[in-house]
Amino acid sequence: MTKFDFVLLAAGQGKRLRPITNSYPKTMVRILDKPLLEWIVEGIVTNFGDSLGKIIIVVGFEKHKITEYFQKHRHAQKIVFVEQKEQKGTADAVLQAQKVAQSPFFFVFNADTFFDPKFFELIKKNADSRPFIVTKREEDASAYGVVEVEGGNLVGLIEKPADAKNKLISTGTLFMPITFFDYLKNVKISKRNEYEITDALLEFAKSQKLRVLEFDGYWTDVGYYWNYLSASEYALQNLMESKIEGKVEDFVVVKGKLHVGKGSVVKSGTYIEGNVFIGENTIVGPSAYLRKGVVIEDNCHIGNSTEVKSSIIMHNSNAAHLSYIGDSIICENVNFGAGTKIANLKFDHSAIAIKQEAGKVVSGRDKLGAVIGKNTKTGINVSINCGIMIGENCKISPAAYVYNNLENDAVFKG
């Protein structure tokens, strides 16, 4: 039986996801309390079984966060780590796997993406001796490179074209012969000062047919925090199973799907519209209101009269009294003073934009709250505007109105 190696690119930090990724690689961002990288690893093992060779994870930024996690994983014996010591681009990252890859054909995945498990069915069905790339059709592909196709094969790649409506973009998933490493070695450094895998693909396609497959299910690049929210909402709706391992007290209303982890308690008077994921050793209520699209991880407290909607609240964070959290991401060990509220809608209902180092980025969402870095604390009655990014270890004084981004370690008095 032919075996296939899998190269998972996990060396980057993910600067667009800061402050979430200040302290760990983007591939370790969690969906339903499980890292993106783990979703891919488990999908590979489940779908390829006896035809699986090695899972080669290319690490770099905060590499120990990945290696320590997967060295304890149930599939650890199938995993090999290689390091990209400098961030020199995707061609260089894949090339690091050459020293350990052995199968005649291998897959490449960008491990900072999230997709429906049916994705694996598509690539398994087409894994023969004919190389391919996997694409996804986007209504607005202006932020991506667009794939040009003739006769079902790759003929070109256009970066951010003028006409970007309803175009195919690359998902970053490839199925290539081991000879593709020779093409990667010959890539020249680009204007971005990186070795681009697209250059190797175009050169390969000049001499050999490179099939273009289209995946019509859910797929997203978890680039910005609203992509992260979208992925979480999809998983809650389509991948989470209802399960009660903790305790749900009397007089709790539950609609939709609900997962409650071990040691967690949902207290009386709480209203849950679902779909909602609650991790382990977390307390919700009494009289909390959880609307659809909510993930609350382990060791959290969402208390009396706090409302949460379409948000992710990470480990050890608390909003114990009278808060509103909408369309937001709250990182680890954050504490909200009573009455802290996050806005998620503009008066004119226009798309909310965020400010980053590279400039303003429009989210395309009319409802979008804030992202708050780990170890940040707010005083009572703090108000946070929509589209705000607050760094790690910040302290926000009582009654302050936060209307601009805050850097790490900021002390904001309003």
Residue 75: active-site member: no
Euclidean distance between the first and the last CA atom of the chain, given in angstroms as a whole number: 65
Catalytic residue selected from 64, 73, 301, 321? 321
Distance CA 221, CA 249 (A): 39
Q: Which of 295, 289, 283 is nearest to 270 (CA)?
A: 289
Q: How far is CA 60 from CA 14, 26, 67, 191, in A?
A: 12, 11, 10, 22
Q: How far is CA 339 from CA 108, 209, 336, 350, 373, in A?
A: 47, 60, 8, 26, 19
Q: Under 8 Å CB-to-CB from 46, ≥6 apart: which residues?
A: 120
Distance CA 387, CA 328 (A): 9
The residues that bridge with 301 in the sheet, in sequence order, are 283, 318
Catalytic residue numbers, as ranges: 321
